Amino acid sequence: MGSEENPRDSSLWLQPLISIMDSDPPFHKAYKTLFDKTADKATANIINSNSNNNNKDHEEMLQLVIVEECDLPLIDLRRLELGEREREECKSEIARASQEWGFFQVVNHGVSGRLLQKMKIEQEKVFKQSFDKKSQEDKHLNFSAGSYRWGTPSATCLRQLAWSEAFHIPLKDISTSSAAGLDYNLSSTMEQFATTVSSLALNLAEILAEKLGHKSTFFQANCLPSTCYLRLNRYPPCPIPSEVCGLMPHTDSDFLTILHQDQVGGLQLVKDGRWIAVKPNPAALIINIGDLFQAWSNNVYKSVQHRVVTNLAVERFSTAYFLCPSYETVIQSCREPSVYRKFSFGEYRRQVQEDVKMLGSKIGLPRFVV
């Protein structure tokens, strides 16, 4: 057999497929056990395939699912500034998309194309820092300790691993970040983006409340800069995109999420019981309903499962804004009889974290059904 490589060695198995830069998180080292398990499975499939003269491309390992690409409902927010008829039709479309899809996209949203491009440029710069600098973000990048996150510490199999890295940045940290020494271009760009999307999120939340018959100031009073945050995401190229997600299937634990994704694509969501891929639209922002809004609306608006798939050759960037209340804020249905019991946001977060730790995934709202 001479110097033939051992197919059980995951480092050898992955080596031809990857070129690790020192800025990338050490996925292979940190999750070697999980890769070894997958390599063992691949080896078993090869042996079985050879012994059975089976020419399948290791179907059990790949589990590759081709999903249809589609356009989300597209809403032009400029219509909110027109006559009463146009304004009310636009509001109705927002509510209908939130009921039927849980996702929609908006144009003429107030965030300029120039600002979105600048955000991506600054984001790329910060992610190109060495992994050591990023993982000591409080010392080298002047972000709060713990803001840099990557992978999935609780993962017990590759399906639970998030092939991504991100900076979670509370809005309250952005206004002080320049004074604290963060790169001025990055901090000022984040501040401009956060200010605009914060206003947009509150406006959309008030419209959704209004369409349920509530002239509510609840969101204005409870979703403050001290409780909302931005997340800068990067999804590195992945050597086994059929096995690992950039983000595993989940729902968002907030009221609303506003997302801008680049042209690479990768966002997928569940519609009518099947996964569909969201076609990138560079001019649009993507809006999705979170768990808290589903509970508050008594299941009228839908918090939908979504995921990010990985790409073999191309990195992907996105920026997300999360409209969240304080941990003390009590969430209760605006209609009776209520599907869910009352709960605080802090209680909800603790339950999600406990489920992820114990079960490997989030349960979410079903834990709070009456």
Question: Mind telling me the catalytic residues?
Answer: 316
Q: What is the largest CA-CA distance in the chain?
A: 80
Contact call for residues 157 and 37 (beta carbons, < 8 A): yes
Residue 202 and residue 181: Cα distance in Å, rounded? 30
Of 286, 318, 315, 283, residue with least CA distance to 114: 283
Residue 268 and residue 249: Cα distance in Å, rounded? 9
Contact call for residues 338 and 299 (beta carbons, < 8 A): no
| Cross-strand pairs, 96 | none
- Order the strands of the 306-309 sheet from edge to edge: 68-70, 274-278, 267-271, 306-309, 245-250
Q: Hunting for tokens 């569909």 — which residue is that?
A: 276
The tokens describing 105, both together, are 């996209």
Region for 7 from its dihedrals, namely left if φ exceeds 0, alpha if ψ lies in -120 to 50, beta otherwise: alpha
Residue 145 and residue 187: Cα distance in Å, rounded? 17
Long-range contacts of 76-79 (CB under 8 A, 24+ apart): 76/106, 76/107, 76/108, 77/106, 77/107, 77/108, 77/109, 77/110, 78/107, 78/108
DSSP for 161-221?
A: -B--EEEEEEHHHHHHHTTTT--HHHHHHHHHHHHHHHHHHHHHHHHHHHTTT----HHHH
Helices (H), ranges, the chain: 10-14, 27-30, 32-51, 59-62, 84-100, 113-127, 131-135, 137-140, 171-177, 184-210, 218-222, 291-296, 345-359
